[in-house]
Amino acid sequence: MNASFRLLFAPALAVTLATAGHARIDRTVEKTYTVTGAGTLHLETQGGEIRVTPATDNQVKITVREKIHADTDAEADQLLKKLELNFEQSGNDVTAIAKYERDTGFHIGWWPPVTVDLIVTAPAGYATETRTSGGGITIGDFNGKAYAHTSGGGIKLGKIGAEVEAKTSGGSIALDEARGDVDLNTSGGNISVGRISGSANIATSGGSIKITAVQNSIRAHTSGGSITAGVVGPLKADSSLSTSGGSVHVTVDKSAAFRLDAATSGGSVDASGLTLTLESSGRDRNRLAGMVNGGGPELKLRTSGGGIVVRPD
């Protein structure tokens, strides 16, 4: 079954709010789709937040919250004529897209004058593809892969049963768990991660990185913070952790076999407790290199502004 619905004007519920000298009128649109199995949610909005939580039934429920910067209902009605809400169901896949008419002219005050939040519930087996140009994204515990992209907000992800890709141009990222590969990137915030079953690629231009447990390989970089990471089990591929402005602290399985290459220009390297065979010229106050438990994939650690600590767990 394929159903499509396009809405340009939506006066379902209106509330007028006064904020900092500007009136705001809120309206709500709701849509419900019955599904028969797992699918993919495609959600996109302009200037609002996206929030997705698991449902307890076989329905996808979408609540659209329109925030209209207008003084009167009549003015709000006019502004909503330039808002497009597109809903579509194709099999078990469901799409909701909110876009305001593009205008390249000069504007004073709020732009766009209508922003839209998407609040959605869906069965836990769903994959999620979410994008917003100026708000936060929250995704609960889902079995499918998660893709989240925002140009200006934080991203919070629960326990995801597949791979994860999350990117923001200005906010923090938090992920509870992923049973697949992970790619996380922010231009200005901290990154906090629980357990990752696959490989991890994590980067921030201005914050700290904390990873509780990764089971495969890891690449993590920050230009302005510390890195803390735990490697569980054997290191399965070359890994690197680097920062330009903080310390690096790593715990590894006591039986893990790898090559350690750790160096800092702003502190010392401490690998107490590891069974380490030093390479020639592999030891001074700022550098430590050698084979741990006979050697294996490389664990490269770098910092320009702090110490490095590697400990067996």
pLDDT band at 98 (very low <50, low <70, confident <90, very high): very high
Q: What are the structure tokens assigned to 240, written together? A: 């690197």
**Tens-digit pLDDT profile for residues 109-118:** 566 789 999 9
Q: Return the closest-CA partner of residue 125 out of 146, 107, 109.
A: 146
Over residues 190-206, mean pLDDT = 96
Highest mean pLDDT among 91-95, 272-276, 303-307: 91-95
Longest dimension (CA), the chain: 79
CA–CA gap between residue 123 and residue 143 (Å, rounded)? 9
Is 271's pLDDT higher than 90?
A: yes
Please state, rounded to an integer, the average pLDDT across all residues of the chain: 90
Nearest 5°: phi and psi at 13?
A: -145, 130
- CB-CB contact of 65 with 14 (8 Å): no
**Tens-digit pLDDT profile for residues 22-70:** 588 999 999 999 999 999 999 999 889 999 999 999 999 999 999 999 9
For the residues of 255-312, what is the DSSP string, one character each? T--EEEEEEESSS-EE-TT--EEEEEEEEETTEEEEEETT--SEEEEEESSS-EEEEE
- CB-CB contact of 122 with 54 (8 Å): yes
In this prediction, residue 105 carries a pLDDT of 53
**Tens-digit pLDDT profile for residues 216-257:** 999 999 998 999 999 999 999 999 999 998 999 999 999 999
**Alpha helices, H only, 49-142:** 73-80
E-strand spans in 101-217?
114-122, 127-132, 137-139, 146-150, 155-160, 164-168, 173-178, 182-186, 191-196, 200-204, 209-214
Q: Name 59's Cβ contacts closer than 8 Å, sequence gap at least 6.
A: 32, 33, 34, 35, 121
Is 261's pLDDT higher than 70?
A: yes
**Residue that is written with structure tokens 């915030």 in the block:** 189
Is 19's pLDDT higher than 50?
A: no
Using DSSP's 3-state secondary structure scheme, residue 169 falls into coil
pTM higher than 0.75: yes
pLDDT band at 206 (very low <50, low <70, confident <90, very high): confident
CA–CA gap between residue 164 and residue 201 (Å, rounded)? 10
pLDDT band at 280 (very low <50, low <70, confident <90, very high): confident
Is 103's pLDDT higher than 70?
A: no
**279 or 160: which leads in pLDDT:** 160
Is 128's pLDDT higher than 70?
A: yes
